Each structure stands twice: as C-alpha cells, then as structure tokens.
Amino acid sequence: KKEGDIEWVRGVCRFCGTGCKVWLGLKNGKPAIIRGEKDSQINFGFLCMKGMLFYKLFRHPDRLTQPLYRKSKKEPFKPISWEKAFDIMADEMIKAIKKGEWGPMGWTGIAYYGSGQALTEETYLFQKLFRCIGTNHVEGNPRLCMASAVGGYLTSYGTDEPAGGYADFDKAQTVFIIGSNTAECHPILYRRIMKNKLANPNGYMVINVDPRVSPTSKIADIHMQFKPGTDLALLNALAHVIIKEGLYDKEFVSKYCSFHIYTKGRDKNPLIGHAVSFEEYKRFLEKYTPEYAAEICGGNITPEMIRKVARRFATTRTVSIWTMGLNQRTRGVWVNNLVTNLHLLTGNVCKDGADALSLTGQPNACGGVREGGGLCHILPGHRVVKNAKHRHQLEKIWGVPKGTIPPKPGYHTVKMFSAISYTEEDKRRFPGLKPIHFIWIEETSPLQSLPNMRRFREGFARDDVFVVVTDIFPTRTTEFANLILPAAFHFEKTGVYGCTERRSQLTPKAVKAPGQAMPELWQIVNFAQVLAKKLKRERDPKLRKRASIVYQCVAPFIEAAKKDPWWTLSKEVWNEYAGKVTKGQDSDLSGATYEVLLERPDGVQWPAPTVEIARKGGTLRRFVVGKDPIATKIAQTHPEYRDWKCIDYGHLHKDHKFWVWLRPYKGPAEPPDAEYPFVLSTGRVIDHWHTASMTGRIPELAGDYPYAWVEINPKDAQRLGINPGDLVLVETRRGKNILPARISTDEGPMEGMVFVYWYDQEKSRMINFCTLDAFDPGSKQPEFKICACRIKKY
C-alpha cells in the first residue's frame, strides 16, 4: 500500500521468535522505515528496537555482494562467479564423499548446518537436497536453542510444539516465568504481560523463577531465586504440595493423563519409557518435600514460598513460559517435562488462559527447523528419520526411489563439529566417530555460537575441511571459510517464518538484493544441477545412482529458479512443503497458501488443513474437541472418545492421553568446586541479536551495548575487591575472557554466580571460549547456562 511518498510492504520481523508483524516503508524504492502492524494480534503495532531498525542493514557497506573463494585458508579471498563457485563446491563435495564412508546414516564426509533464522522453504529444500545426496548429516543452530523443548513436548504430548498461544496471557491469572529473561529476549510479549499486570495489579500475579534478578523480575510479585541447576527439585516440590494438599484437577488427571518413567536398561525407547500408576507417582514425589527442596535450592527459597506458589499455580489459570534457562541444560528435557507436569496435574492446559508455552528463541526455529526437518533425526512434517514409514512417505512425495533417505540419524551439533575438529579427545568422546571434510553453513555463525569452541576453531582452520558459508555479512565463521556465498537478506527474497505459537507468516520480496547476492533457494537449485551432472560422470555406481535423485530433488523448481527466484521459486517450494509434505500431518499447513498468508495480518496457526480453516487463522487451541480439527475428527469417528473434551493425538501417545513424567533431581554437568567456585551463566541483551553480526552494525544498537561485560553479585565483588568497571579475568577449565565488571544492588546474579553476554565478537570477550559442551543425553542440547568458573581482578 502507498501513503504519500512511502510504499509499505507487510512482512514479519526477522529477529526473535515472537513473530511481530511489521510494515517496511520504501522511499523511492529504498528501505527507509519500519513500523508495526496495528491489526496484528501478536504485537498490536509495537516493535522493539531490533525490529524497528533492521532496515539499516539492507544497504550496509559491509554486505557480502559476490562469491569469494580461496583454496587454502591461509590465502586471501578472491571474487569468483557463481558458476565457478558451484563448480568448485560440487568437486569438493564429491571429494569429501569419497574420503568418507557410506553407512546407515549415509555419506559420513559431508554435512549441512543451518539456522532457525532461515525461511521454512530454505530449510526444507536444504534438508531435502542433503537427504537426496544421501546423508542425514543435517543439523542447525536450533539444537543450541530449542532441542530440549522439542524433547519436552514430544514426551509430554507425544508431538512437538505448544497447545495454546499468546492470547492466553490476557485470560491468565498467573504467569509463571521460569528460566527466561522475557523483558530483554521477548520484549513485545513482556509488554503484553506487563499491560495485563498494570490493568489488574492484585488479580494478575507474575512469578519469576530464576537465579538472577533480571529486568524481567521487575514486575514479579514473587521472585524464586535458587542455585543454578536445582530447579528440578523445586518443580517436583511444587508437584508434591499440589498432590499432598489435594489441589490437583481430579477429573483432568484421571481422564486425560497417564504417568511414565524411563528406566535405562529396561525401556527401549526413552521417549516412551513405561507406564506407572498415579500411586507410584505419588510415592516418587514423597521425598520432594518443600523442606527437602529448599535445602537443595538455597537462595531465597523457603518451604513456605514453595507452598504459596504451588497453591497459586493450582488454583488459578496459569501460563508458564520459559526459554534457554531450561533448554540449555544437561537435564533440559526433564526440566521441560517438570513444568508441563504442573499444568497437567492442575488442568492448566487446553483452556483459555492456561498453557505450558515454551517461547522460541529464533524467528523460525519452530516453523522452519522443527517442522521443516532441519535436524539430524527429524524429517519434515513432524516425521522422524528412524521411522521407515515416514521415510517412505517422503520418498514417494519427492518421486525418488525407496531407500533414498538413509535410515539412521546423522550427527547432532556437538558431534558434527567434533567430526570436523576430529582430535584424539573427540574420537575418545564419540567412539566410531567419522571425520567430516565438507560443510555448508547457512545463516549462522557457529564459530562464535558453539560452546567450548577453541577446539572447533582449530579444526576449521585446517585445510582438509572445505567450508562453505552462505551469509549476508562477514562473521567470525566466514574467517574460516573457503567459499563465501552472498545471500539475499529478509525482504530481499520471499518466504515464511513460523513463530512460537505454531503460527506461519509470509514476508514477500520488497527490496533488491545488493550486487550478486542471491536467495538460498536459488543457490540450492543451481548447485544441485551442477552436482548432479558431476555425479553422473562418477565411476562408483553408488555415486552415479545419486545423480538422478539429486536432479529429481530440484527438478520441480528449475524453471522458477531461472525465471523468478524472488517469488515464484519460494511459492513453488512452499506449495510442495505445505501442500504435500504437511498434508495429513499434525502440522498441516495445506490450507495456508501464499494467497491466504498474504491476506491475513497474522498468518495462520496449524493445524490448518483447509483453505477455509486457514482463512479464519487456523487453530488457536490445540487438542480441544470443537476447536482443533484433528481432535474433533477423532471424537467424531471413534465412539470411545465421544465424550472427551480434549484428546492428545501425539503420534507417540497411543493412549491419547497427556503424559506426566517422573523425573528425579539431577544437578548440572560441571558444578562449582574449590578450584572453580563460581557458576558461569550466559545470555542476551535486549538490543543485540545473538552474535551481533547484524545488530552490531546498527549504530543505535551498537552504541547502547558496545561490548560485553560480566555481572557479579555485590557481595562477591566486595569479597574479591572488584569495583564497577574493573577488568575481571573470568576463567574456566576451557578458556578465559577479560571483561569489565558490572555490579548492581538492583539487578544481577545471586551470590556465587556470574553472568556474561555472548554477543561480543572481540576475541578476549567471546565467552564461548569458556562455556561447556556437555549436552543433554536426550535432546543433545549443550549446557550453555551452567559451568564452573573462577574470577579475579585483572
């Protein structure tokens, strides 16, 4: 639409997982301003600074504008043509395939590493290409961010992603914020919570559960502060009180819940474990008395506080939200389950104002990666690699031979990067590890964002690993590339993002990409054709066989890539993904065509199996009969569920019930000790996005936060003679940083803990030299939030 000399184009913000709807304003065809969409039920016209200012990146002088290549990482880069770039890439990929082996996970020598910021169409086509080449080494940064939430939902609901959405904040009476600095990381959602709180200060209670006093704690009625990693005991104690005092929802529990435990050695599948009785669950909780938990948790936790919070949780409509404080943990899946347990016990789910809502970090970790099949063990449409039926369904849709997709998951993130560094230590840690010699990294900067990254950087520096990076800016990762491919930025191409609440939204192309920068979809389709030609000439029949499969993978898109890579190509990939791949799955988006997505100010929430349902916005409340088309159909067609109000149709839950899990308290992987007596935790500030490769180039945001610092509790600082602004040496068993100190009586970590922001690109302040790469045994998500450190004045 046009207003005066500004032409407005509607899309979605490309930063956090809130999914704020934006209008990008173009003056004389150039990006000039961004404002929020007033009719959006997500952000109601509001935006944070990141959302308002990203128009400054379109014409930034640092933008990558042509393919750059160097044979050796010791040489400088030289510009080359796209044609030459794909030619070199295909040769290097085939070389790496030959250096590796063929096994149950496919070719061991090559890998793709993507991002929760890639468009859904991009992740979908990248993973399709790599599976068709013949490898399940398909991973992405959502492993660092959302994997434990996936594990949590898969075990509690039998299927990924939440039941409710943001609208629940407005009908809730209690918001339970645990392990999330919502005020800085999801500021527009925090605004909504704050608005409700201000409108009803006594009736709307905010409980903040966090070892640190963050800006989020400012509106909390109760702040539960506990030693990092002890929240499993705390959550079990809340359940203990709810049951002991008879506060649980008896009807919901008896009709809609069952109880489960996983016993290693006895149970084959950790996602299923085995069923136990309610009585056994009660016995399991016996030991988690408020007194016992308070002792473990320390901080300000008292038995009376636990009782008070449990009563409030159980007797009001409650929404819980959480992010990395729970996910980035070696017991991330368990702690996710323990929050959802509280909702199931108290019937605080499947109704207005009540939900267990894991907030997504990135704009498309849910839609693109979790639904689009962008991790080593999953396939698009909520399918899994290990399931032969799922693999064959996809092979049929793709028109490729049965057996194209290898049957075993590839390497998860830490293992994938260990297969690149491939040190003796890596081989000891992962017996049977096979080296990776070629990796295509897209829209992420792992050599700043991976934990314990010194050894990964050493691996990447070697010349026997060919590194391709598709990005819009130079980053700490492009420093290790052989080939840099310039990408079109958001609004310079077309595609869909799916945010926290199962909502997909379309952003159309509005701006011309600079220089030779091209959309990733165009890069994939063109590279695949070159690769197919080269594979055809190979002598090994296994390689030759893949030539036609690779060609078939992109064949439906070749014409569009030639004629219109900016819109038609994306639309055709979306039509295949949403129209064919999600059809009939729980994440059904087949009704959400581009036309419908363009019409709607808020996009569409799945399941949306028909255009009619999609036009109304899709499904706000999942699992509820009468509201969710899948649950409704089950109730209508299966007499035994006729009188059920909600039905858990997760494919892992054959009993159609929600599962309460018995998860014991277990501490972190590296607790503090005499040598390293502090807990180091890491996170984000409001104005920077992740590695700051983008926000660090926006002067207003960089000016607000020019460098990272370490937050220290005033009591610890006094004891160690550290004053505000002093340089502090932060040291762990893996590395060290030198950071200025911030000491506040108002905000900051509890005694014995320090907190560092990880956006800074300056090597002496890159905290991921220090963090720990221990990971959750289920979700494989690393424990960024807790490791042992020592500090002293520098």
d(CA 579, CA 96): 35
Is 18 a binding residue for ligand SF4 by CB under 6 A? The answer is yes
- Single out the segment in contact with ligand MGD by CB under 6 A; choices: 176-184, 411-419, 468-476, 524-532: 468-476
Q: Is 428 helix (H, G, I), strand (E, B) or coil?
A: helix
Residue 362: active-site member = yes
Give catalytic status of residue 224 as yes or no.
no
H or E segment and range at residue 177: strand 174-178
Of 746-765, binders to ligand MGD (CB under 6 A) are 758
Q: Binding to ligand MGD (CB under 6 A): which residues in 636-665?
A: none
* Interface segment toward ligand MGD; rule CB under 6 A; list 230-238, 496-504, 539-547, 691-699: 691-699
The answer to whether 691 contacts ligand MGD (rule: CB under 6 A) is: yes
Sign of dihedral through CA atoms 762, 764, 765, 766?
positive
50 binds ligand SF4, rule: CB under 6 A: yes
Token reading at 253: 């529990």
What's the min distance (Å) between Cβ of 470 and ligand MGD? 4
- For the chain, counts of helices (H) and of strands (E): 28, 34
Q: Which is nearer to ligand MGD, 337 or 449 (CB)?
A: 449
- Span of 15-23, 314-322, 415-423, 723-731 interacting with ligand SF4 by CB under 6 A: 15-23
Q: Rg of the Cα trace of the chain?
A: 25
Going by their DSSP bridges, the two strands 138-140 and 110-114 should be labelled as: parallel
Is residue 393 annotated as part of the catalytic site, yes or no? no
Q: What is the DSSP string of 616-656?
A: TTB-SSTTBTTTSHHHHHHHHH-GGGTT-SB----TT-TT-
For ligand MGD, which is the closer residue by CB, 416 or 625? Answer: 416
DSSP annotation string for 62-87: T---S-EE-SSTTSPPEE--HHHHHH
Please choose which of ligand MGD, ligand SF4, none residue 16 contacts, taking the beta carbon within 5 to 8 angstroms, the exact cut-off set by kind. ligand SF4
Q: How far is the CB of 695 from ligand MGD (least distance, A)?
A: 8
Interface with ligand MGD, residue 509, by CB under 6 A = no
Say if residues 778 and 333 touch (Cβ distance below 8 Å).
yes
Q: Quick one: which segment of 22-30, 409-417, 446-454, 586-594 binds ligand MGD (CB under 6 A)?
A: 446-454
Position 88 contacts ligand MGD (CB under 6 A) = no
For residues 56 and 386, which CB has a smaller minimum distance to ligand SF4 in the complex? 56
Instruction: Identify the bridge partners of residue 78 per DSSP, sorted by sequence position.
Output: 69
Task: Kindly state whether residue 443 participates in binding ligand MGD, applying the rule CB under 6 A.
Answer: yes
Q: What are phi and psi of 223, to 5 degrees?
A: -115, 115
Residue 47 interacts, among ligand SF4, ligand MGD, none and using kind-specific CB cut-offs from 5 to 8 Å, with ligand SF4
Neighbours of 741 (CB within 10 A): 22
Task: Find the binding residues for ligand SF4 in span 575-604 (CB under 6 A).
Answer: none
Q: Nearer to ligand MGD by C-beta: 236 or 445?
A: 445
Query: Which token pair is 477?
Result: 């990762």
Q: Is 203 a catalytic residue?
A: no
CA–CA gap between residue 780 and residue 68 (Å, rounded): 34
Which residue lies nearer to ligand MGD by CB, 318 or 691? 691
3-state SS string over 141-209?
Answer: HHHHCCHHHHHHHHHHHCCCCCCCCCCHHHHCCEEEEECCCHHHHCHHHHHHHHHHHHHCCCCCEEEEE
173 is catalytic: no
Residues 276-305 binding ligand SF4 (CB under 6 A) are none
Residues from 141 through 200 that contact ligand MGD (CB under 6 A): 141, 144-145
Q: Which of 134, 187, 474, 498 binds ligand SF4 (CB under 6 A)?
A: 187
Told to check if 473 binds ligand MGD by CB under 6 A, we report yes
The alpha carbon of residue 264 and the mean position of all alpha carbons in its chain are separated, in whole angstroms, by 28
* Residue 489 lies near ligand MGD (rule: CB under 6 A): yes
Q: Which of 20, 48, 132, 146 is catalytic?
A: 146
Tell me which DSSP letter residue 252 carries.
H
Measured CA to CA, the distance from residue 248 to residue 418 in angstroms comes to: 46
- Please state, in angstroms and rounded to a whole number, the distance separating the CA atoms of residues 252 and 341: 12
* Structure-token pair, residue 25: 């304003």
Catalytic machinery residues: 50, 145-146, 324, 361-362
Q: Which residues bind ligand MGD (CB under 6 A)?
A: 115-117, 141, 144-145, 324, 328, 361-362, 442-446, 448-449, 470-473, 475, 487, 489-490, 520, 682-683, 689-691, 693-694, 758, 767-768, 771, 784
